[in-house]
Amino acid sequence: MSINHKNTKPKPASSKPMDANGFDQWSANYNADVQASDADKRYPFAAYNKILDRLVELVQPALGKAILDVGIGTGKLSRRLADLGCQITGLDFSDSMLAEARKLLPTAILIQWDFSRGLPPGIEEHRYDTILCNYAIHHLCDHEQQELIAQILMHLKSEGCLLIADVMTETAQEMDYAKKADADLWDEEENYLLAEKVRQWFPESLFEFERFSYCSGILSVKKAGRK
Ligand SMILES: C[S@@+](CC[C@H](N)C(=O)[O-])C[C@H]1O[C@@H](n2cnc3c(N)ncnc32)[C@H](O)[C@@H]1O
């Protein structure tokens, strides 16, 4: 993979974030595009593979651990966790992404759902050890992001953890730097998180931000009242 790889991500006709049809179109080439972007060390997927490795480490996979993968996509990350004994539930609004995920995760619970509406009613009673949201939350506006994270925190077990990985920086200044560095590639329709902003939304929760590249990182969020 190199800078010669042609990114196949569809361009939405409007200035709205990409819808399920856009992701349906992208699903067959999505993994290849991600790998090419990571190989070039550029926005948006710079350090993607390192991030996946770190997420697997942070989950501490074990037999029967309950994982919810929000925006599961082709299921690459969850497959690694399933192979280590975890029980996977995945959400995604794209039929074709879910079809790809099904190939890797034949026994997982996969739910077609638009997470801009929060979490689906079918999992109301469930509590998870880890909830993952890998390169997916940027499709929501600020208030939808805040609502989704609030709901996710309610669906964690008391010792559970939310892991958000994405184009994300600690501060607005760092995000501006990344945007200037990759102005030719930057997707204005996407709404990337700033770790400092999420901290302000949930002052009671416990946060850790790990930077993986000039434009990407992992934010770990744990509920208040635990160490
Ligand atoms: C960039 S991909 C990331 C996929 C996967 N988590 C990964 O790390 O490769 C974003 C995924 O989120 C899904 N998605 C985006 N917006 C969504 C929404 N509002 N509701 C449900 N799924 C959504 C897309 O269909 C896609 O599979």
**Percentage with pLDDT > 90 across the chain:** 89
Binding site membership of 45 for ligand 1 (Cβ less than 6 Å): no
- Residue 64 has what pLDDT? 97
- Residue 147 has what pLDDT? 98
Each residue's pLDDT tens digit, 92-128: 999 999 999 999 999 999 999 999 999 999 898 999 9
Q: Are 153 and 128 in contact (CB under 8 A)?
A: no
- Residue 7 has what pLDDT? 75
Binding site membership of 37 for ligand 1 (Cβ less than 6 Å): no
The reply to whether omega before 61 is within 30° of 0 (cis) is no
- Residue 226 has what pLDDT? 57
Question: Has residue 40 got a pLDDT over 90?
Answer: yes
Question: Has residue 9 got a pLDDT over 90?
Answer: no
Binding site membership of 43 for ligand 1 (Cβ less than 6 Å): no
Alpha carbon of 129 to ligand 1 centroid (Å): 21
Which atom of ligand 1 is closest in space to residue 133's alpha carbon?
6
Binding site membership of 26 for ligand 1 (Cβ less than 6 Å): no
Domains of the chain from N-terminus onward: 36-222 (3.40.50.150)
Q: Determine which residue's CA is closest to atom 26 belonging to ligand 1.
A: 73
Q: Closest Cα partner for 47 from 222, 187, 210? A: 210
CA dist 77 and 45 (Å) reads 14
Q: Closest Cα partner for 167 from 188, 147, 146? A: 188
Pocket test for ligand 1, best of 95, 112, 114, 139 (most atoms within 8 A of CB): 139
Strands 216-222 and 156-169: antiparallel
pLDDT band at 227 (very low <50, low <70, confident <90, very high): low
Alpha carbon of 194 to ligand 1 centroid (Å): 19
Question: Has residue 179 got a pLDDT over 60?
Answer: yes
pLDDT band at 199 (very low <50, low <70, confident <90, very high): very high
For the segment 53-72, the average pLDDT, to the nearest whole number, is 98
Q: Which of 1-10, 86-95, 115-124, 174-183 has the lowest mean pLDDT?
A: 1-10
Q: Closest Cα partner for 46 from 171, 172, 181, 141? A: 181
Q: Are 179 and 214 in contact (CB under 8 A)?
A: no
